[in-house]
Structures are given as structure tokens and as C-alpha cells.
Structure 1
Amino acid sequence: MLAKVSNAVLRAVPGAFILNSGIGKLDLKGEAAAGLQQMAAQGVPAVAKLTPDQFGKLMSYGEIAVGSALLLPFVPTRVAGAALGTLAAGFVSSYFRIPSMTQADGIRPSHEGTAVAKDLWLAAIAAALVLRGSAD
């Protein structure tokens, strides 16, 4: 019983946050999309090949899909964790590849990188869900 409750918490909190973020990006276009795309392309260079509008839609739909997978109880824990891990990997990649995000040691967040460093928590939650899913 306790495992089910802790599993629900691990899924619900990031799921709601990511779903809300994706819905907020549904109208992402133009300069806003281009700015986000430029930052994302430093971590995942392939996104530079998209137009800003394509990137905005992809980012929005991707976050909505991952958030929904986490919130829907019929999606297996391991699958939801893998989806979250994929999203978090892109975020974390940008964090480590943009020099201004970290202090001189390349690990600890700078003032600018503090908000992005939270994505490391998403990666940890994803790992917990994948490992927990294998135990179910």
C-alpha cells in the first residue's frame, strides 16, 4: 500500500508540473519559441534543424504527453519513468553544455543555472520510477 502511495506522489507532482508547462507552451511562437529553441539546441543540437514554430509545437506536445503519462494510472510506472527520463535528459544536457549555467567547476549551478538545475531532480525521479517499475 505504501509503495502505491509513494509511486503516486512520484508521478503526480512532476506530472502536473510538466503538463501545465506543456499547456502553457501551446501558443509558443515566433521570438519566444526561437529563444527557447536556441537554448535547447545547445543541449540537443538536432532541434536547431526545426523552425521555431515546429520546435514550439514539439516541445508543447512532448511535455503534454510526458505529463499525461505520469498522471494516468494505467500507464505502467516504468514507461512513465522512461518518458520522464527522456525529457529530463534533454534538459540536463542543456544545463551541462551551456557554460553560464554552471560555476567554474562545471557542476554546481550558477545564479543563472539554478532554475535549470531542478531538472536534475526530474532525472532522479525518473530513475526512481524506472527502478520501482521493475520491482512491481
Structure 2
Amino acid sequence: MGISIANAALRLVSGAFILNSGINKLRIDEASAAGLQQLASNGVPQLGQLEPAAFGKAVSVSEIALGSALLLPIIPSRLAGLGLGAFSGVLLASYLRTPGMTESDGIRPTSDGTALAKDAWLAGIAVALIFGRRSAKLAKKKK
């Protein structure tokens, strides 16, 4: 029931990236938090109801917790993947619902949207973590 090298690589890359992002947001100023909140509330409107400072702190703590869960091998890959899936879902919803981030087709990023569109890789990692072990076990059984 150990962790595979593939899962370890996925968890290490995404976990370190997210943990670093959360640590960098620990001392986010209110204006930056408000801008981040505006962007996030495009994807999840309820986030706009928080005070910007509280939102900034919540994002920081959430990213630190998620990054740590991805880096800790005692957390099952499927559980870490579910957390990453929720996180990347909010990021992608914000990207898709923010005016000016996508081309007229609603999917491809504009130059302004590239910074958010790149977070699609987090969704891909989440899917691999959630379903990867099951696929490997099914392939073994077929042999």
C-alpha cells in the first residue's frame, strides 16, 4: 500500500508549489487580498461576502494545509487528490467566469488569462491522484 514514484512526483511538485504560495500569502496586505478575493468571487460568489483580510488569511491557511497534505505521505493520495480537486475547481471556475480571461470560445486563454489557465495542470494532477491507484490495481488484476 506504499506510494508509487509517479504519485510521489505529482504530490511533491504540486504540494511544494501550493505550500510556497500559501506561505507567501501569510503577510498579504489588504489591497492584495481584496484583489485576490474579487477574482475568486467570480468563480465562487459567496467568497465575496468575507472581509478581505479574513479572506487573505483563509486562503493562506488553506494553501498551507493543502500543500502540507500533498507533501505528507501519511495522507492517502486519493484524499490529497480530492482536496487538490476542490482547490483547482475554484481556480478554474474563477478563470472561466472572469471577463477577459478567455478568448471568444470561452476556453482558450487570452494573454491576461494565461496565468489562471495554467492551473488546469492542478486539476489533471488531482484526477491522477484520485483514480491512479485504482487504474493500476485493475490493470494488475487483468494480467
| TM-based fold match above 0.5 | yes
Identify the residue that residue 39 of structure 1 maps to in structure 2.
Answer: 39
Q: How many Å separate the matches in 2 of 1:61 and 1:73?
A: 20
Is it true that 1:24 corresponds to 2:24 in the alignment? yes
Determine what percentage of the aligned residue pairs are the same residue: 54
**Cα RMSD over matched residues?**
1.2
Offset, 1:133: 4.2
Q: Deviations over 1:63-95 (max 9, x none)?
A: 001100100000000000001001000000001
Q: Is the 8 A contact 1:22 1:61 kept in 2?
A: yes
1:98 — aligned with what? 98
Aligned residues: 134
Partners of 1:29 and 1:52 within 8 A in 2: no
Matched, 1:112 2:112: yes
In the alignment, does 2:51 pair up with 1:51? yes
Answer yes or no: is 1:66 the counterpart of 2:66: yes
The amino acid across from 1:77 in the alignment is S
**Counterpart of 1:127 in 2: which secondary structure?**
helix
Unaligned runs of 5+ in 1: none
* Residues 42 and 97 in structure 1, CA contact (< 8 A), matched pair in contact too: yes
**Corresponding residue number in structure 1 for 2:127:** 127
Residue ranges of structure 2 left out of the alignment (5+ in a row) = 138-143
- Code of the aligned partner of 1:61: V
Deviations 1:78-120 (A, max 9, x none): 0000010010000000010012110111010000001111111
CA distance in 1, matches of 2:99, 2:133: 35
- Between the aligned partners of 1:81 and 1:92, the Cα distance in structure 2 is 16
TM-score between the two structures when normalised by the length of structure 1 = 0.95
CA distance in 2, matches of 1:42, 1:91: 10
